[in-house]
Amino acid sequence: MMTLYLIILLKFMVLCDAANILYSVPFTSKSHDIFFRPIGVELARRGHNVTVLTAFEIPDPPANYHQIVIEKKELWDLLGTERPNVFTTIEMRATDFMDKILYDGGVAFTDYLLSTPEIQDFLAKDNKFDLIVSETFLVEALYMLAHKYNAPLVLVTAFGNCMRHNAIVGNPLQLATILYEFVPIEDPTSFLGRLKNLYISVYDYVSWRYLYLPKQETLVKKYIPDLPEPVPSLYDLQKNASLLLINSHFSVDTPMAYLPNIIEIGGIHANWYNETLPKDLEKVLNESKNGVIYVNFGSNVRSSELPEDKKRAFLNVFKRLKHTVLWKWEEDNLADKPPNVIIRKWFPQRKILAHPNVKLFIGHGGLMSTQEAIYHGVPIVGMPIYADQYNNLLLIEQAGFGLILKYENIDESVLYKTMNTILSNDAYLRKAKEVAIRFKDRPMNGLDTATFWIEYVMRNNGADYMKSPTANMHWIVYNMLDVYAFLVFICIAFVYISLKIVNALIKMACALRIGEDKKNV
């Protein structure tokens, strides 16, 4: 009987501590959902009432996990263009990629999202929330829900460190070592590398704040009416966010100084999903005596769209290997497929990478995939295409458990040499296993860390004391530019006055000397 009372008491305590949380993660990229889903489900598992804005419905959710599901739309559809062969985007300039795909796509997606009947019906209801958790990728208008419901705002990014967010909240930018996330910089510490990093960081910040955010503000006025006055700007809402959770970890990523409300949770998805291996795949993996090579270019980059010469290079190299090759191939057939190559439109990736017979992962450098390979200690050959992929792979190459394979350089000779370098040298595998150990060596795993800090913010009414005081300072003030300008002025004035005095003394000396010369004459 005492045990029963204790159970009832514990359940009552959970209910007392439960909060109403709005979890806004609506972007329609599968890789984003893979990262965000564990947080929402874990918050529900801990007893919170979680309402999720998403494009990916999960089957049999917990009773307190309420899904508002929007129809999945690709950015290309919303931009009114045909989906390009993603391999062609490698030819785009970084600024064009940001402006024409990210920012134009972000406005189009947010417009579509807020106009859907599902979201409009949700906004029309008299909801009450204790906390708003929102992803940061191209949905800034949804930050306004924190103002609408008078709740603290927590931001979560599926990428690593966000340069413009650091600028907004006054976190040191550290541009000499920390790269802007969406532009490849081959030699980051060189003068030209640092100059490029500064340029693109400033370009993005100015474009985002003064061109993109006003368009998001317009969408707020169009779709989220009757907001309590005064209505803050989206910039101020982000500046005053209680917490930012970022998908990175210092054991792999470049170490950076962070304010106390910026928390690393990298890899929360790497071992969360309860996947199972199909029996036929399990048999293949177990019986591959020479090891397995796994090839997957992610959810957005399709192997089947490889140009003929690149595809032929892969096939010719695979023919030369004794390894079994598992290749995510999006079509039913692959002409001239060697017998050691197995194609599927989908593979249980995390489960495959966890198998001890997997010797190499060939991917595109997407952050979710690379973290899964890191977690399971698998060396990587990475072929970056766009966004953060090159910089992710650069860290892996510098750490010694992977190599970058530039798309434009791919031919049979280069591909074979790159793969064989890793397959024939155990140092890459040993390093991968070493990094995997330190990636997992934390006081709490990434998911527990994320949920702890989210609940911490709720327990402490938004935890305003964790925010930097620079949030309320002009950038000139918190960068001490006025003080430095004053000191420079003092130095210039001192030098100027000193030169005047010296000049006057010289003139006096010359006058005295002339007077002496005249007297002697």
> Domain extents for the chain?
18-268+445-472, 279-440, 480-520
Enumerate residues 6+ apart whose C-beta is below 8 A from 175.
Answer: 194, 197, 198, 201
What is 279-440's CATH topology?
Answer: Rossmann fold (3.40.50)
**Of the listed ranges 3-7, 203-207, 310-314, 470-474, the one predicted with least confidence:** 3-7
Average pLDDT over every residue of 426-445 = 96
What string of DSSP letters covers 333-346? --TT--TTEEEES-
Enumerate residues 6+ apart whose C-beta is below 8 A from 40.
Answer: 23, 25, 50, 52, 65
Q: Using 50, 70 and 90 to split pLDDT, how confident is the model at 519?
A: low
What string of DSSP letters covers 201-236? HHHHHHHIIIIIHHHHHHHHHHHS-SPPSSPPPHHH
**What is the pTM assigned to this prediction?**
0.87
Residue whose entry in the numeric block shows the structure tokens 């090839």? 295
- Strand, coil or helix: what is 195? helix
Average pLDDT over every residue of 357-362 = 96
- Check residue 179 and give its pLDDT: 80
Distance CA 344, CA 184 (A): 31
Q: Using 50, 70 and 90 to split pLDDT, how confident is the model at 521?
A: low
- Strand, coil or helix: what is 33? helix
Q: What percent of the chain is modeled with pLDDT above 70?
A: 96
User: For residues 429 and 510, which has the higher predicted lDDT (pLDDT)?
Assistant: 429
pLDDT exceeds cutoff 50 at 453: yes
Distance CA 333, CA 315 (A): 13
What is 18-268+445-472's CATH topology?
Answer: Rossmann fold (3.40.50)
pLDDT exceeds cutoff 70 at 323: yes
Q: Using 50, 70 and 90 to split pLDDT, how confident is the model at 231?
A: very high
- Check residue 517 and give its pLDDT: 65
Mean pLDDT across the chain, nearest whole number? 89
Both tokens of 131, joined, read 């906390």
User: For residues 193 and 22, which has the higher predicted lDDT (pLDDT)?
Assistant: 22
Fold agreement (18-268+445-472, 279-440):
yes
Average pLDDT over every residue of 6-25 = 65
| Rounded to 5°, angle at Cα 245 from 445 and 142 | 140
* Torsions phi, psi for 461 (to 5 deg): 50, 45
- Check residue 175 and give its pLDDT: 82
Residue whose entry in the numeric block shows the structure tokens 């599927």? 344
Q: Which of 249, 287, 250, 295 is nearest to 270 (CA)?
A: 249
Q: Using 50, 70 and 90 to split pLDDT, how confident is the model at 140?
A: very high
- Check residue 68 and give its pLDDT: 95
- Contact (Cβ atoms closer than 8 angstroms) between residue 184 and residue 387: no
User: For residues 386 and 233, which has the higher predicted lDDT (pLDDT)?
Assistant: 233
- Check residue 233 and give its pLDDT: 95
pLDDT exceeds cutoff 60 at 47: yes
* Torsions phi, psi for 423 (to 5 deg): -65, -30
pLDDT exceeds cutoff 80 at 85: no
